Amino acid sequence: MSLVYAGFSLFHLRRAAVEPAVRQAALDLLCSPHWGGELRYFASVATAGHRSWRRPGMVSAKTLRQTADEALQADSVASFTMATAGQNGPGYRSVTFTRDAQRSPFSISYGERPAADHDADAWVAAVVAFFDRIDGQTGVVAVMASDDEIASECGEGGVSRNDRLVHPFPDQHARTRGANRRQIGTRYMRFPRWGTLVSHDHVGELGGVEAIARAVEPAVVRPLAGGVYFQLTATVASAMSDEAAARQAAFTTFAAPLLPPPVTPPGGSV
């Protein structure tokens, strides 16, 4: 049986490559004790025209923070992942930071870990603190049935099995890709999940915090530097409950004017 997984994805304007405060926040998240395991396996994607900055492999606990700090500033590193192992499997944990501008105007940071242990809520608190410290504009904290679903939701691509996307809402996933992706955080917001960061501009367009709270009845409403964080239930343990599902559906309906539109495939029909 697959483990239930939690993950986060954040679009942010501030870049670790040029801001020490952003690097500090990223390093604090990476080294948080609430991952439930040390993220010491390094792997990176090289910036176009550059050689790989470092070979993939384990980093010593003593040099972990310094190595990650240098990677965040290296021109040759487009993105890098720190994980508990080189490949995902039961208990896999990882965090990825990007520094390139292909998602202009935003950079993206994301990560995942098993949801079902006593430290999961503390991990969520550390993630939301990261959102706040780097003025994140739009993001989610999701809890889903498997690491493949979380990877599809929070990463930059998608995981397929037998030619089918592994994701509980494949239509929503499709609507956040392609041309729509470049306008998420500006014209569009993310589809609501268990935890959803809505930018201040989008909160205003939806009628304000109180209007959203009346429609959704979230358990947590927390103003952050870059937006307002809405969490559907109080703990990760209830993130996949019927109550959470009903609130997510209500949030999706309420936010419909700001969600990415359906994707028109080749040939012109939806």
pLDDT by residue for the chain (270 residues), tens only, comes to 358 999 999 999 999 999 999 999 999 999 999 999 999 999 999 998 999 999 999 999 999 999 999 999 999 999 999 999 998 888 899 999 997 655 567 899 999 999 987 799 999 999 999 999 999 999 999 999 999 999 999 998 889 998 899 999 999 999 998 889 889 999 999 999 999 999 999 999 999 999 999 999 999 999 999 999 999 999 999 999 999 999 999 999 999 999 999 977 655 444
Residue 270 in any domain: the answer is no
Residue with tokens 């501008």: 101
| Burial bucket for residue 242 (CB in 10 Å: 0-12, 13-18, 19+) | exposed
Say how many C-beta atoms besides its own lie within 10 A of residue 33's C-beta. 11
* H helix or E strand, kind and range, residue 164: strand 164-165
The answer as to whether 146 is a domain residue is yes
State the Cα–Cα distance between residues 183 and 35, nearest whole angstrom.
Answer: 31
Burial class (CB in 10 A: 0-12, 13-18, 19+), 152: buried
In a domain, 265, yes or no: no
Q: Is residue 266 assigned to a domain? A: no
Query: Does residue 18 form part of some domain?
Result: yes
Whether 195 is covered by a domain: the verdict is yes
pLDDT for position 143 = 98
Residue 139 in any domain: the answer is yes
pTM, entire model: 0.94
If one counts the domains in the chain, the total is 1
Domain with 234 in it? 5-258
In a domain, 264, yes or no: no
